Amino acid sequence: MRQLGIGELARQVGMRPSALRYYESVGLLPAADRAAGRRVYPAGIVRRIALIKMAQRAGFTLAEIRGLLDSDAERGATRQWRALAESKLPELDRFIEQTQILRNAVADCLACGCMNFEKCELLSADGPGSC
């Protein structure tokens, strides 16, 4: 099986080698083999890192991700993933709602066009009026 040095792996997954060493230290990645004193990983580790990155973008904590990855039985991992995902969806919905509010505020500021932050009524404590 092909093995990747830590530098090559870091380039492939768009991370720094120090982040990969950290993932290893907190149990997200299995301990790397050594070749000539350097960390080497099986090529299949790229998929595991993709899962970790996706879960992080979705808002899962490293502890939650580690728990998911530590599940030995495939069926247990599936149940655990389902439970984590179901508990995360309301949080993601709130984040989307808050982000949409921010997006609309930026769009409103652009539409206003006054670009005078000192006097813009959209930014006043009294709330928006007409600029």
Residues contacting 89, CB < 8 A, separation 6+: none
- At 110 the pLDDT is 82
CB crowding 66-95: b at 16 or more within 10 Å, else e: bebbeeeeeeeeeebeeebeeeeeeeeeee
- What CA–CA distance (Å, rounded) separates 120 from 123? 6
Hey, what are 92's tokens? 């993601």
pLDDT along the chain (131 residues), means of 10: 91 96 94 91 94 91 86 65 86 94 86 75 60 48
Phi, psi (rounded to 5 degrees) for 100 = -65, -40
Hey, what are 52's tokens? 């970790």
pTM value is 0.69
- At 130 the pLDDT is 44
- At 77 the pLDDT is 65
- At 111 the pLDDT is 84
Q: What is the CA radius of gyration of the chain?
A: 22
